[in-house]
Amino acid sequence: MTRPRVILASASPRRRELLTLVGIEHEVRPANIDESYLTGETPAQHAERLAREKAAAVNAPNAVTIGSDTIVVVDGDVLGKPRDRAQAAEMLRRLSGRAHVVMTGVAVHWQGVLSSGLEEVGVTFRVLTGDEIERYIDTGEPMDKAGAYGIQGYGATIVERVDGDYFAVMGLPLNRLARMLREMGLGYAFGPVTAD
């Protein structure tokens, strides 16, 4: 079977790690798209639309392109990447001791067909002290992540519960992605993507 090239339309090191984890060889070509909200767009619609736009934006004939976008939602508000230390602390204080939702959109583009889906995961933080928040920010981990935390790093010590796909919280829902690849005739089982 032929193995089509796989392109990840994201600069996220977490997404690269996850594709490697399941044996999908890939190259990285971050998509340059406008990530602004559209009027009336819900957080879920936004995450899935951005995943679709990222996957479609990479012009690579005969390659499978994967796009993904992750957002953190609490009380209906979207928490993006913090712009500075003060905003990271504000986000972490807001998430402390309570539940929020992580939404990750994922899309696959292959030979003119674009498939997408969305994973919604409930995440609960334990109660954080002010000192813990400051020390966590000192690690630098919160600064390039939606909601100011990463579940796979130091952030693992502040997450009390995950209801749903852990990998979606990291930034790429692997189960849904594998299913989408199979449904598109790309024969994913275990190991590299193969065209049937």
Helix (H, G, I), strand (E, B) or coil at 120: strand
Q: What is the pLDDT of residue 28?
A: 96
Chain-centroid distance of CA 70 in Å reads 4
| pLDDT at residue 149 is higher than 60 | yes
Local confidence band at 196 (pLDDT 50, 70, 90 cut-offs): low
Three-class secondary structure assignment of 15-45: HHHHHHHCCCCCEECCCCCCCCCCCCCCHHH
Active-site residue, 138 included: no
**Per-residue pLDDT averaged across 152-163, rounded?**
95
Lowest-confidence range among 108-112, 129-133, 190-194? 190-194
Q: What is the pLDDT of residue 2?
A: 67
Local confidence band at 194 (pLDDT 50, 70, 90 cut-offs): confident
CA distances from 185 to 107, 175, 188 (A): 15, 16, 8
| pLDDT at residue 112 is higher than 70 | yes
Local confidence band at 104 (pLDDT 50, 70, 90 cut-offs): very high
Q: What is the pLDDT of residue 59?
A: 86
pLDDT tens digits for range 165-188: 999 999 999 999 999 998 988 876
- d(Cα 98, Cα 116) in Å, to the nearest integer? 30
Local confidence band at 192 (pLDDT 50, 70, 90 cut-offs): low
Domains and CATH numbers, the chain: 5-183 (3.90.950.10)
The active-site residue out of 34, 69, 131, 196 is 69
How high does pLDDT run on average in the chain? 93
Q: Token digits for 124?
A: 């609960």
Q: Token digits for 20?
A: 């490697």
Q: Which of 4, 5, 10 lies closest to 172 in space, CA to CA?
A: 10
